[in-house]
Amino acid sequence: MSNLTRRAAFALAGLAATTPALNTPAAAATDIRMALKPFACNLDTWFMDTPFAGRFALAAKIGFTQVEFWPVRRAKNEESMDATKARALLDSNGLTLTQYAPAAPNFSDPANHDALTAMIREAIADSAILGCKAITLVGHHIVDGMSREAMLSGYTTGLMRIAPLLEQAGLTALIEPFNTVNHQGHLLNGSRPAVAMLHAVNSPMIKLQWDFYHMQLEDGDLIEKFTAAIDQVGYVQLGDVPGRHQPGTGEVNHVNLLKAIRAAGYKGPMGLEYYPLDNDYKRAVSDAMALSIAAGFA
């Protein structure tokens, strides 16, 4: 709290003690929304004790204007959801969807490229309903019996195959590398193989999902690597190490990091794909506001 301005401290004082809903004067609520404006709340990692459909309202009440989530199509035995239902929830809560992650086939294996094409066509239709211009695309599990070179070739070829569809639709696919510490069994880890691959694909609609949680675990040297690869960055996500909790709970200096992100030329939203420490959403919002103010965004 020591890093907050008096204006932000006033706004935070209105947060309810035991619930993420706001109970603030209009001016205080405006201050919260302004401080949270650079961020998109991830609805799959926040408010996990609430059914998915109810998380839209919680994100709006707490002060977010942008959200992201994983798949939009959810099975009935989990919780029925599709693009039309999600769009209604977004609109009724005044929210914008920055990106989401449709389930992708493992297209490191060329045998799955037809399934990849079908999934992209479905995502294009869903994205038009959602009013969303970006999807996260993974699908790079290790394939038993295939060499790394063959898998890299298969994944690259798959991206080249879907590039014309994405370009025609104006939809960006965000390729997300993981890490080998707690996301074993994946082809793309850290920035280097993914950056090289995207240079080879050379499509304006295929970029990197730069998740700093994964990059810290796999690469380190966060600012220099991000700055060097800024031409291939399409979206940014945050999460501290260790624990994948909010910035300020771990080892990364996120104030310096966010200043460097903007200095490198990235002007888009930053996804908060982390698990608020102890499910304390009041503290998570306080920490996000403090970061925004200290980094000069609010």
121, 165 contact by CB (below 8 A): yes
Quote the pLDDT of residue 15.
46
CATH number for the domain including 36?
3.20.20.150
User: Which of 9-18, 126-135, 189-198, 285-294 shows the lowest mean pLDDT across its residues?
Assistant: 9-18
**Is 162 inside any structural domain?**
yes
- For residue 201, the number of C-alpha atoms closer than 13 Å in the C-beta half-sphere is 31
**In 3D, which of 99, 96, 23 has the Cα closest to residue 64?**
96
**Is 187 inside any structural domain?**
yes
pTM assigned to the model: 0.91
**Is 60 inside any structural domain?**
yes
Quote the pLDDT of residue 110.
98
Return the higher-pLDDT residue of 51 and 79.
51
Q: Mind giving me the DSSP string for 51-112?
A: -HHHHHHHHHHHT-SEEEES-S-B-TTT--B-HHHHHHHHHHTT-EEEEE------TTSGGG
End-to-end CA, the chain: 15
Question: What percent of the chain has a predicted confidence (pLDDT) above 90?
Answer: 87
Q: Is the dihedral of CA 229, 245, 89, 17 positive or negative?
A: negative
Q: What is the mean pLDDT of residues 190-198?
A: 95
Residue 287 predicted with pLDDT over 70: yes
- Domain of 49 in residue numbering reads as 6-294
pLDDT confidence of 76, banded at 50, 70, 90? low
Q: What is the mean pLDDT of residues 247-276?
A: 97
Q: What is the mean pLDDT of residues 204-221?
A: 97
pLDDT digits (tens, 9 = 90+) for 150-193: 999 999 999 999 999 999 999 999 999 999 999 999 999 999 99
**Is 1 inside any structural domain?**
no
Residues with active-site annotation: 176, 273
Counting the structural domains of the chain, the total is 1
Quote the pLDDT of residue 6.
45
Quote the pLDDT of residue 298.
75
